[in-house]
Amino acid sequence: MPIYHAPIDDMRFILNDVFNASEFWQQMPALEHVDSDTVDMILEAMAKFATTTLLPLNRTGDEEGAQYLGDGKVKTPAGFAEAFHEYAEGGWIGLGGDMEYGGQGMPKMVTMLAEEMVFTTNQSFALYPNLSGGAAMCLLNAGSDEQKQTYLEKIYSGEWSGTMCLTEPHAGTDLGIIKTRAVPNDDGSYALTGTKIFITAGEHDLTQNIIHLVLAKTPNAPAGSKGISLFVVPKFLVNADGSLGERNSLACGSIEHKMGIKASATCVMNFDGAKGWMIGEENTGLASMFIMMNYERLTMGLQGIGGTELAYQNAALYANDRVQGRADHGTQDPNKPSDIPVNYADPIVHHADVRRMLLNAKAVSEASRCFAMYVAKQLDIYKFSPDKAAKKAAVDRVALLTPVSKAFLTDRALEATIDCQQVFGGHGYIREWGMEQIVRDTRISQIYEGTNGIQSLDLLGRKVAKNGGAFVETYLAEMRDFAQTMQANHAVKQAILTSADTLADLTQNVLEQIQHKPDAINGCAVDYLAAFGYVSFAYMFGLMVEAAHGKAGEFYANKAKLADYFVARMLPRLQGHVAMVKAGTDPIMAFDNSYFVQEA
């Protein structure tokens, strides 16, 4: 079974040294209950729970999987229900929840670290409470007072759970063509009929009730995405006193058999005149649902960090234990044979190529955590700051970086987990070592909550082109200002300045391409997002190097060394993505459609 040691020291470094969390919290009246001692206790408690409870269930949950029992019933793997109840009783589901409804009101800068540890130790388990948190956020921001009173406290406590029901068999990316219908009832409710697929945690045995947030169209709704409304549809209807009433007219028809996250129930949900209530105004459902979607997209970045961290820790352990071959700079006697006996050889960590793979993963893990914390701080500014200008700047920055958080972090995560699997050689392909499960589980993070290709189109089309690159330029100006005032004399300083200029030039190039050929977005968006991500990672390494500057100890010295590695070995990838963006779409679109059709 894979091992895990929660990277508490690195989490504290990012939180306290890089982002000065305590000072930030003191500036926010709504966060006066948050202090470093409390946060330390939260991190230590989650590290213990994740390591002792969730990690042992990761392998067994993968082997047993969620099971469809027929008649709409789903059973989670052995131990999951007990772990979920322990998680709920610990207050973890409501950690960031609104205090008025029983949540603990912790900022995203804190909750993201707890979520990372859950995703690291058990990606399947993490999805159950994660969907509940997203549903609660949507209800809090878009629901009526009655809906908040009815559902939030029960969701925060873990008595009830939540889902989001968007996708239909024919409608994935294009939700404007959904067929689920919501017909008004005389009592102000609606009768929902339709089928939703790929519904995470749509049915299970963990909670008393499941609260579905469902996208549907009313009878006279406009065509397309402008005619979508959002409804809250509980598995069991809720009586006026808050107790559970009769079973609603909805059921799980089956669950999917997947490559990974097998312990997470991915359901087909059938609504047969199910009773639901509209959330917000009619035809504004997509905007309301995107509150939840954007929450989930940052969370998928955390899933990527979790997969990377677990893969790295186990690959590093294996590389130190596995003795094979003679390295140029190994520790063994060079005059002794390298084959017999085996202990005359070197641990493979001494081989440069093994170190390359380990350092790739380590760089991705640390830069991703820093980037996620940067975005989390912007979310906290938007939520808690009394300064209207600061809130506006923060929400613009979050809009720009959300697709990068989801796509770049998960793309790099899969690459890192595969590198770490490669460190094991043939053993990495064998189930007993656990590495192939990490790869399988992490793979989904690139696909759900909007595929990474769609994220890149969102970045370039909505967050860059629509405002003429203004959001990007503001972000780059912040990078340049930081780099120019850095006290640390490090290569990353110039790397930030140079790469910021590169991204600014690339942005203008793309805007010009789009002006002459609007569909150019589709051909260069993925590479543009990758370029954006590498520039952002350079900024993150700069922040970490500066925070470590002047501090004694190997921990801080290694921050500078890892930044050196990133600048020398990973940031050069930026130029490849720049070249591909500037090549335009012509090489892609030069083929006739018949080229892709296989002859019978």
Which residues lie closer than 8 Å to 441 by C-beta, 6 or more apart? 62, 123, 124, 260, 261, 307
Among 228, 223, 168, 174, smallest CA distance to 198 is for: 168
Among 364, 309, 300, 265, smallest CA distance to 120 is for: 309
One-letter amino acid at 169 equals P
Residue 289 confidence (pLDDT): 78
Residue 284 confidence (pLDDT): 93
Residue 174 confidence (pLDDT): 81
- Block mean pLDDT (10 aa), the chain, length 600: 96 98 95 96 99 99 98 98 99 97 97 98 98 94 97 98 96 87 98 98 99 97 95 98 98 98 99 98 88 74 98 98 83 60 78 97 99 96 95 95 97 99 98 98 95 96 96 99 95 98 98 92 97 99 98 98 98 99 94 89
Residue 330 confidence (pLDDT): 66
Residue 298 confidence (pLDDT): 81
Residue 283 confidence (pLDDT): 95
* Catalytic one of 115, 296, 436, 449: 449
Residue 599 confidence (pLDDT): 78
**Within its chain, how far is the Cα of 188 from the centroid?**
37
Backbone angles phi, psi at 409, to 5 degrees: -65, -35
Look up the pTM and report it. 0.96
Residue 325 confidence (pLDDT): 84
Residue 334 confidence (pLDDT): 62
Buried b (16+ CB within 10 A) or exposed e, 19-30: bebeebbeebee
Residue 489 confidence (pLDDT): 86
CA-CA-CA-CA dihedral for 522, 528, 530, 534, to nearest 10: -170
What is the helix (H) or strand (E) element at residue 157, kind and residue range? helix 145-157
| Residue 236: exposure state from Cβ atoms within 10 A (0-12, 13-18, ≥19) | middle
Residue 292 confidence (pLDDT): 64
CA distance 32 to 17: 20
Among 296, 290, 336, 352, smallest CA distance to 127 is for: 296
Q: Which residue has the tokens 């729970």?
A: 49
- Known catalytic membership, residue 246: no
Residue 297 confidence (pLDDT): 74
Q: How far are the Cα atoms of 183, 210, 259 from residue 234, in angstroms, in the given order?
A: 17, 6, 29
Domain residue extents for the chain: 451-593
- Three-class SS of residue 236? strand
Among 61, 65, 74, smallest CA distance to 235 is for: 74
Residue 331 confidence (pLDDT): 66
